[in-house]
Chains A and B, each alone.
Chain A
């Protein structure tokens, strides 16, 4: 019995397999900026909804980051969440917006209420012309002197936005978000690599790049 091995064909296929694998990794690397950009959009959307929900559940602690009497409403947010990303990862930053609505107890807009209350900054109110009129325990008080409010917004608002923001990334993001969004399952499943292996043995590196790039981009997150 004579067995003939076509080593030329074998070498060519093995070479293509290796090129396919390297191309797959290169494709993933190329897709990273787009992947992290899409991921950061999903994270910002989820974080916004998380903060809204926590504010509705605990308005005494988070009312200051919304327009008056609209705590937890997405349209009334006094915070901005912004994401930046590159091929290494993404970053979410936050800033406060100025309030544009009036409290029912005031004739002046408290523009920086979110920032002032979050930082627990005391506020001194000085009458412009006449007297200050305000209510304490149901009784009206009138004074010509300046009044200092030590804890504007109440005792529970100081640092509560920062705490909620941090709890999202410290607890919720790793415990729930990665799994619940389906992202972790997608990243653990590399069957796409195996499914395209035959094509990769013919096409080599170019097939690998395309497969890796598309595999990472398919790991999109849909938050509704």
Chain B
């Protein structure tokens, strides 16, 4: 019986790539030693609850939590397999430095158009190999990636737990096509 994880879904790859890249830095609030990926799809759960759970699971006092949602799909050309999608990312942390540092890393890694797409494709191809490959098949080829700042300023959110949370909003846009095999084409 087929599994949904076998279907082409670009956010899987974007999220996993961002998680691994952010975890390479020590001053962002993501630990590479933790098995918890703190990038979650939006859900009815309160961010306060999510944040508490991440603190407990990772033992990081001021972790970075990212909530994402698929926003808009465009068809930029008449060639229908070519898709363009936008993911909205809300970066949360009680540390303003963590939010700002994560923003810098994500922009530096992904806001490079076709060069960023090539790096992501190459990384995804490598992730099919080795002793611990990712569970999903490499069935998405990225053409181009951009990052937009959704709003100029950082927002503040006072939580029920009396903590102040800093928020940064990004839009990640990528062009891609779905493919049937796990080769780089």
Q: Which residues of A contact B (CB under 8 A)?
A: 46, 49-50, 53-54, 56-59, 69, 71-72, 167, 171-172, 175-176, 180-182, 185, 221-224
In the complex, B69 has a CB within 8 A of chain A: yes
In the A-B complex, the 4 residue pairs with the smallest Cβ-Cβ separation, listed nearest first, are: A222-B75, A182-B76, A224-B73, A53-B71
Query: Which of the segments B11-19, B84-92, B99-107 contacts the partner chain?
Result: B84-92
> 1/0 per residue B52-94: CB within 8 Å of A?
0000000000000001011111111100000010101010000
Residue of B nearest to A155 (CB): B158
Is the CB–CB distance between A50 and B72 below 8 Å? yes
Residues in chain A near residue B161, CB distance under 8 A:
none
Interface residue SS majority, chain B: strand
Is the CB–CB distance between A57 and B75 below 8 Å? no
Residues in chain A near residue B151, CB distance under 8 A:
167, 171
In the complex, B50 has a CB within 8 A of chain A: no
How far apart sit A133 and B44, CA to CA, in the bound complex (Å)?
A: 26
Q: Which residues of B contact A (CB under 8 A)?
A: 42, 44, 67, 69-77, 84, 86, 88, 90, 148, 150-152, 171, 173
Is the CB–CB distance between A223 and B150 below 8 Å? no
How far apart sit A221 and B75, CA to CA, in the bound complex (Å)?
A: 8
Is the CB–CB distance between A172 and B150 below 8 Å? yes
Is the CB–CB distance between B74 and A224 below 8 Å? yes
Is the CB–CB distance between A57 and B67 below 8 Å? yes
How far apart sit A69 and B84, CA to CA, in the bound complex (Å)?
A: 30
Residue of B nearest to A54 (CB): B88
Is the CB–CB distance between B90 and A180 below 8 Å? no
**Shortest CB–CB separation between residue A136 and chain B, in angstroms?**
14
Residues in chain A near residue B84, CB distance under 8 A:
180
Is the CB–CB distance between B69 and A223 below 8 Å? no
Partner of A50, one of B42, B70, B71: B71
Residue from A49, A53, A171 having most chain B Cβ neighbours under 10 A: A53
Residue of B nearest to A71 (CB): B44
List 13 additional contacts besides A176-B171, A176-B173; criterion CB under 8 Å.
A49-B72, A53-B72, A53-B88, A56-B42, A59-B44, A171-B152, A175-B148, A176-B148, A180-B76, A181-B74, A181-B76, A182-B76, A222-B75
How far apart sit A185 and B152, CA to CA, in the bound complex (Å)?
A: 25
How far apart sit A175 and B70, CA to CA, in the bound complex (Å)?
A: 18
Residue of A nearest to B77 (CB): A182
